[in-house]
């Protein structure tokens, strides 16, 4: 049997007409609804659901400091033998070179990762079979660091939404004679040769495709090539290692828990502004980029120049002049972010600068 409550018509109070101070005092007071036999707060009787939510948020905003009166606590003392002493282990810092040569001949300048040099951390992690995931916006040096760490034993695959299992494992390729030969993919080659595989933009690859990597990254250390029974089971040779890189803010990125759990070491890579100045980037350009980076953090824009763009700016300024290089840099920003970027560079350089346009 349903309970029936008589509805009485009365003027609905509005937030604008309420006495907030009085209502705050009444919050703790309860009134009794005689018809229903249920205890309700006076506030609930006066306000609609939306009104209650609004007033409570206002109460929170006007909250005053807690009373100085001490709050009674459990006076039971913890026995010394029950306390836990936390020990912080330390490790010897991994020193490295000032710079490392990449496969293309460019130099990569090592950066501090904790107390160690980033390149040496990667090499040490490989020795311990601790896989690494690097994440961050484009142009911060993720790929460059991996190339500097393993310049002569690195396979790379650039991930995308079109990446298929065959790109990693391999597939049949037609020969000039009309037949078909099996060709190993980069994953199988790296595992068979004990080399390093960099999966760039790993977050754009379908998680179902990436599942073929799991067996080589866990205790099994093997991959069954189902597409080619004659290839059989591939055993990972000593030295096989996987490094991944991704920009988690790009649309379409999917990183499954099964994948993330296999990368024990994960670190965000950012631009080293001090290194940029050391490498010859004008200080004014670095300052403007830092300001834009702060605006990105605050949600005011989505773009700021990173190390790659700043090094290109340095080289182009020598060729065509500083103002030309700034205009070019602004033109490389997403269209929606150009007004903010132009404003920042204008303030730093002291004259109006707009994106390049012919």
E-only strand ranges, 81-221: 99-101, 107-109, 112-113, 116-117, 132-135, 154-158, 170-174, 180-184, 196-200
Partners of 108 in beta bridges? 100
Using pLDDT thresholds of 50, 70 and 90, give the confidence band for residue 52: very low
Using pLDDT thresholds of 50, 70 and 90, give the confidence band for residue 36: very low
| Nearest alpha-carbon partner for 197 in 179, 180, 210 | 210
Q: Among 49-53, 104-108, 221-225, whose mean pLDDT is lowest?
A: 49-53
Please check whether residue 240 is in contact with residue 191, taking contact to mean a CB–CB distance below 8 angstroms. Answer: yes
Cα torsion 30, 33, 38, 43: sign: negative
Please indicate, yes or no, whether residues 215 and 242 belong to a single structural domain of this protein: yes
Please indicate, yes or no, whether residues 327 and 249 belong to a single structural domain of this protein: no
Please indicate, yes or no, whether residues 56 and 106 belong to a single structural domain of this protein: no
- Is 131 part of a structural domain of the chain? yes
CATH number, residue 188: 3.40.50.300
- d(C-alpha 329, C-alpha 312), whole Å: 9
Answer with the one of 268, 296, 326 that is the final residue of a domain: 268
Please indicate, yes or no, whether residues 252 and 297 belong to a single structural domain of this protein: no
- Is 149 part of a structural domain of the chain? yes
3 state DSSP class of 229: coil
Structural domain count of the chain: 3
3 state DSSP class of 25: helix
Please indicate, yes or no, whether residues 247 and 281 belong to a single structural domain of this protein: no
Please indicate, yes or no, whether residues 278 and 246 belong to a single structural domain of this protein: no
pLDDT tens, residue by residue, 237-277:
999 999 999 998 888 999 999 999 999 999 999 999 999 99
Query: Domain of 340?
Result: 273-349
Please indicate, yes or no, whether residues 221 and 121 belong to a single structural domain of this protein: yes
Summarize the confidence of residues 106-123 as an average pLDDT: 95
- Is 191 part of a structural domain of the chain? yes
Q: Taking the model in full, what pTM does it have?
A: 0.74
Please indicate, yes or no, whether residues 173 and 240 belong to a single structural domain of this protein: yes
- Is 2 part of a structural domain of the chain? no
- Is 326 part of a structural domain of the chain? yes
Please indicate, yes or no, whether residues 239 and 259 belong to a single structural domain of this protein: yes
Please indicate, yes or no, whether residues 301 and 343 belong to a single structural domain of this protein: yes
Summarize the confidence of residues 24-49 as an average pLDDT: 45
Residue-wise burial string across 110-136, b where 16 or more C-beta atoms lie within 10 A, e elsewhere: beebeebbbbbbbbebbeeeebbbbbb
Summarize the confidence of residues 204-222 as an average pLDDT: 96
The residue written with tokens 């670190």 in the block is 267
Element (H, E) at 32: strand 30-33
Please indicate, yes or no, whether residues 259 and 226 belong to a single structural domain of this protein: yes
- d(C-alpha 151, C-alpha 103), whole Å: 5
- Is 289 part of a structural domain of the chain? yes
- Is 70 part of a structural domain of the chain? no
Beta strand 154-158 with 132-135 is unpaired
For residue 195, what are the contacts with CB-CB under 8 A and spacing of at least 6? 150, 153, 154, 155, 189, 239, 240, 241
pLDDT tens, residue by residue, 345-355:
999 999 999 99
Please indicate, yes or no, whether residues 254 and 310 belong to a single structural domain of this protein: no
- Is 4 part of a structural domain of the chain? no
């Amino acid at each position: 049997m349903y309970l029936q409550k008589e509805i009485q018509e009365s003027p609905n109070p509005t937030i604008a007409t309420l006495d907030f101070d009085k209502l705050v005092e009444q919050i703790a007071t309860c009134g009794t609804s005689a018809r229903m036999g249920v205890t309700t707060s006076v506030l609930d009787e006066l306000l609609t659901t939306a009104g209650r939510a609004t007033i409570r948020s206002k109460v929170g905003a006007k909250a005053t400091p807690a009373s100085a009166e001490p709050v009674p606590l459990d006076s039971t003392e913890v026995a010394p033998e029950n306390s836990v002493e936390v020990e912080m282990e330390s490790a010897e810092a991994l020193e490295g070179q000032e710079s490392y040569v990449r496969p293309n001949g460019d130099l990569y300048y090592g950066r501090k990762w904790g107390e160690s040099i980033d390149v040496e951390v990667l090499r040490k992690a490989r020795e311990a079979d601790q896989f690494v995931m690097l994440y961050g916006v484009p142009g911060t040096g993720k790929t460059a660091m991996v190339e500097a760490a393993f310049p002569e034993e690195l396979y790379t695959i650039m991930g995308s939404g079109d990446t298929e299992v065959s790109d990693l494992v391999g597939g049949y390729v037609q020969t000039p004679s009309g037949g078909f030969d099996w060709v190993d993919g980069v994953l199988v080659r790296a595992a068979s040769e004990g080399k390093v595989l960099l999966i760039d933009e790993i977050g754009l690859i379908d998680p179902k495709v990436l599942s073929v990597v799991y067996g080589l990254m866990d205790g099994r250390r093997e991959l069954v090539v189902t597409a080619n029974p004659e290839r059989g089971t591939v055993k990972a040779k000593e030295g096989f290692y996987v490094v991944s890189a991704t920009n988690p803010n790009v649309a379409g990125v999917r990183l499954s828990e099964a994948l993330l759990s296999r990368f024990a070491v994960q670190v965000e890579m950012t631009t080293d502004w001090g290194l940029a100045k050391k490498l010859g980037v004008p200080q004014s350009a670095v300052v403007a980029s830092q300001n834009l980076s702060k605006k990105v953090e605050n949600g005011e824009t989505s773009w700021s120049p990173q190390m790659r763009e700043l090094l290109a700016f340095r080289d182009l300024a020598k060729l065509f002049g500083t103002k030309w290089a700034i205009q070019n840099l602004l033109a490389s920003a997403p269209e929606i972010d150009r007004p903010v970027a132009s404003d920042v560079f204008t303030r730093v350089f002291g004259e109006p600068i707009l994106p390049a346009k012919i």
